[in-house]
Amino acid sequence: MMYPIMVKIDFTQTRQAVRSPKPVALTLVVNWLIKPFTMVAIAQFFGDGCFALG
């Protein structure tokens, strides 16, 4: 399933990512520090709030 995506990776672009680390750092912060908590909040809102069975 991941093979077609992995084939199209241009590994020469990693040098550019190392030269400008701000976008990489921003992506890591958003994906690992912000998104998990927002997903839990959304799940609690819909699971416990909107569609509560009790």
The boundaries of the domain holding residue 32 are 3-50
pLDDT recorded at residue 41: 92
- Name residue 33's amino acid: L
Q: Output the CA torsion 49→43→41→29 (10° steps).
A: -170
CA 28 to CA 30: how far, in whole Å? Answer: 6
Q: Average pLDDT per run of 10 along the chain, which is 54 residues long? A: 74 84 92 95 85 66
DSSP secondary structure string for all residues of 26-49: HHHHIIIIIHHHHHHHHHHIIIII
pLDDT for residue 1? 59
